[in-house]
Amino acid sequence: MSEVLSGTLFGVGLGPGDPELMTLKAVRVLSAAPVVAHFRKSGRAGHARTIASAHIRETATEAAFDYPVTTEIDFRDEGYISAIREFYTACAETIAGHLAEGRDVALLCEGDPFFYGSFLHMYDRIKAAHPVTVIPGITGMSGCWTAARAPITYGDDILTVLPGTLDRAVLAKHLEGADAAVIMKVGHNLQKIKEALKDAGRFNDAIYVERGTMPGERIVPLADLGECAVPYFSIVLLPGGRGRRIA
């Protein structure tokens, strides 16, 4: 009996949200993939699946992975860590099962697969046993600063990327000396982010972008954003170029 060759796991970067910003390579791989996998919040179609929908063939097998927890438990809580670890292990086992049978798997990744994404956890668990190919995508932050028409770096500016989950004092320390910054994972951290920017003396420079490049896009100076709940697809930009612009 001949040995079945392993399938390849493709981490497919889908870009920031606008389906037209997917790469030609991403479209080609999706169109041919016998298995398409994606993560989603329970009860939702999944944003990644929506972006890629036009390019998934009707005969493809789909593996939809519903997160067991999202924001209802703090990500530092041991209950969250345990649940999400078991979840990712089970997802990797499902994907590995397809690969072991010789089927390629396209795992949908919003933005870029190697940038703050669930794909990283599949990559770490699968790369030693099966081939993995990563297709880079336009990051969400790139889509957001382009939508906001906010050039992010000039000359020798250093760009700092910060998760909003950091403590207020830590955020403020990084922001105070930053040439330019992007703050991810805004959500429930919005008020803390505002206070950290004020502590750093940078509040009036910040731009809030919601659903950048997608339907419902919203772009306002952060100072004009009142108290409100913000969606998962939101980001805060601190454009660079202070004293570095050549007119």
Other Cβ atoms within 10 Å of 36 Cβ, number: 25
Cβ pair 174, 196 in contact under 8 A: no
Q: Cα(100)–Cα(7) distance, rounded to whole angstroms?
A: 7
Backbone angles phi, psi at 211, to 5 degrees: 55, 50
Q: Cα(83)–Cα(80) distance, rounded to whole angstroms?
A: 5
For the chain, domains (ranges, CATH) are 9-138 (3.40.1010.10), 141-238 (3.30.950.10)
Q: Cα(244)–Cα(247) distance, rounded to whole angstroms?
A: 10
The token duo for 90 is: 């089970």
Beta strands in the chain (DSSP E): 9-13, 35-41, 61-67, 105-109, 132-135, 159-163, 180-184, 207-210, 218-221, 234-238
* 77 Cβ contact list (under 8 Å, min separation 6): none
Looking at residue 77, its pLDDT comes to: 74
CA 144 to chain centre: 12
Q: Taking all residues of the chain, what is their mean pLDDT, rounded to a whole number?
A: 93
Using one digit for the tens of pLDDT, what is the confidence trace for 214-237? 999 999 999 999 888 898 899 999
Question: pLDDT confidence of 3, banded at 50, 70, 90?
Answer: low
* Residue for token pair 């590995």: 96
Q: Which of 49-63, 78-92, 187-201 has the lowest mean pLDDT?
A: 78-92
Predicted confidence (pLDDT) at residue 22 exceeds the cutoff of 90: yes
Q: What is the mean pLDDT of residues 125-130?
A: 98
